[in-house]
Structure 1
């Protein structure tokens, strides 16, 4: 573009117009684009924060990758764990487990739970459950002592406290003359944990690995091996890689498979919010179209003079493209800066309004968090800014084309 096109286009953007309503529409378009961009950045950042928060809590309990044997039985787990760790350098730690469903009863209350047998010292290397103990310690699980650690919500539903005894009822029964009778085993509650995820706090119980093997008559076998890898986000690829190179009859799964419905729902919600809030930016760009159309009408005489001085129709088009694009760029840049600053400090802003209004937006009893988490992803910011700029540029094309088609003789007839 020639320098005079930039000069006139930027001058038209800054100049006060004879019709003040045109300036108002341009300012409204700029503010609308900025607000739309900022809102989109803040909403997506908060959703990213929630996803990171929930992902972190899941990974405190779930293993990154899990290798289980056929029929939920795996023999010689030490060799399997050693082989998997040696085969892929991203595998940092491993731990055996025994896992099965059972019923826990106490004082007339009965609750279903997932019973997991673990080795406390190795379990702490693949998951962070030990950091979430609210009573007792994970290493209180001693082989042969039949201690049990319950999720806090599960313990509350049973009405049991640390030191009291509960009965575990297993699906494997004993055959008697009266028929199949469920097996019972008494465990002593030695600890409670809280992850702040209901599915674990209300449905998971931990016992020593040897005790679980005796309870479910597994001998020296286990259900499988839990693996920790260097980057949890690479778990699907690592699980697939281990499965392809594996010579044993093993079934590999990862934490994203176990929670696939949740993450699929979050992704769908994020995409829909992105689409809905992008419409806000689109509405602002429609205002930009109307403002430019009015500006073209207001500048008919100027366009005619430029044409008579030798300006080509393409130069007129570029002048108004520059004028509209400037509004879009300023609005986008302001929105990006404002959105990023607000997204980074959204917790502080919400706390300020909570104190000002004397209310609590997020109750920990309901939402399990007391402040809004936020994670600003550069890719999201770049995509939002690019979309806003593209929409603003497209909005300038029709008014600029109309300006380029202006007939100088018709425009100066009544001047």
Structure 2
């Protein structure tokens, strides 16, 4: 069928271009070719068919490549056209913006202003600002000195009171440092006392039948172990809470204040008092022959000059007295340091307000109108 169609196509071509003899000659040639094709080996026939298919595929691929190249060329032409249109639009907008521009406000400048600005350059703006300052600022300074400011007077009074409080706090801190060294001397002198060896009196003191309740856990405990139990119970509950900071303590001249042990889990430094920290400070083991050494008092506050000579392990009235006295002194020192920090912050705020009140920007932006030239003090007075 395919051979017949091919022969008919050749006949049509001959009819269009040549005579009947030409058509007959072509028809005979085609019959000869097709007859030769039919006489070929089947394997050779398949090879010829495959060659034809490959030629068709090559033609299709060449056609697709040409189409893609033409599409890329069209896209590039469109991009170039869009860029040209955008450039023309920007040039038109710039031409429109340049039309209403005004003259630069800089002193002695005749150039047009920049878009969205009053000056042609930053230099012109700085020159105009400097000229305004030189012309306006001397009058404002003179006016500031002629008319007193009530806020300035209040600020000076606050600074004076803050400086007095700082001096008092520094004096108090020095006294607490002296108390710190005195307490250490008293503790050392108490440890040098001889131990009281009367066993009968010691048994009378320690054998107590009175019961009290613990303030932390509420259990009923005996009097001779009450202070010991309460101290351990408080330390157990205190370990459950944490007091930490990201930075260690750095205070000049201060010794033994905060614990400052670094915790890798929370990545913080412990901020309990070093003496009272139950988590990182353990009480030393008390030997049998160590004396209590607590200074005895009369009427609660009057020192008698004597020391408790009972063995430290058996004394039930002065349990951990050294730790508590040291903690009391350290707490007063910490309060004094916090007071100094608060006063320094207040001083900084007051000085900043006073500096900004008479600064360049404030004097240039604000002005007090003095209608009566004879009245220099413009503050309001309360008439009785």
TM range (shorter): under 0.3
TM-score by length of 2: 0.25
Richer in strand (by share): 1
Larger RCO, structure (CA 8 Å, separation 6 or more)? 1
TM-score by length of 1: 0.24
